[in-house]
Amino acid sequence: AVVSTQSGHYGRGRSDVRWAAIQKIKTVGPCYMAASGLDPVTEEQTRQGNHEHIVNLMEFCFKILETIKQFNSYTFGTNFTMKIGFNYGPVTDGIIGQNKVLYDIWGDTVNLASRMMSTGVVGRIQLPAACVPFLIDHFKLPRRGKVRVKGKGDMITHFCVERKTPEQIRSNIENRAANSTNSTDA
């Protein structure tokens, strides 16, 4: 029942145009894996420097946390929780199996996202410092500090805590564009 209810909430949220490039990859135990940027159009946009799909994936993460909070408020005695690990980078994707085929993604990017989840904090979205430049214009990303990550050692991580206001976003993008123009004029 919980899965179908959560799927129902997920399905309603999936109609948002911002999330068109987001694909549910799989669920394994308590882990729900989704990815963005795997389709050819979004891949090409990324190559051209458009990283909007990364911002949209982060928005989707917030929607998942909100959905769980709403679900808990509608049901008696439930307190489902979630930790979200976020990462950005190249992945390998493909079909696995012959009799029971499964689409999957794998690679260092996927492994690090999983480690961000496993070392994360309930109710928070954790990401490695390498993701900050792609999200800083749109979100507040306080530094968590060093976290011991299996296979990586100590890593600086951040939490994504909230979306910036439209005015802050506009100002950040304008300042970045102005700085880019000034650096090319020198």
Q: What are the catalytic residues? A: 115, 150
Instruction: Find the helix packing angle between 52-74 and 40-47, rounded to 10°.
Output: 130
State the residue for tokens 């008696």.
76
Q: What is the three-state SS of the chain?
A: CHHHHHHHHHHHHHCCHHHCCEEEEEEECCEEEEEECCCHHHHHHHHCCCCHHHHHHHHHHHHHHHHHHHHHHHCCCCCCCCCEECCCCCCEEEEECCCCCEEEEECHHHHHHHHHHHCCCCCCEEEEHHHHHHHCCCEECCEEEEEEECCCEEEEEEEECEECCHHHHHHHHHHHHHHHHHHHHC
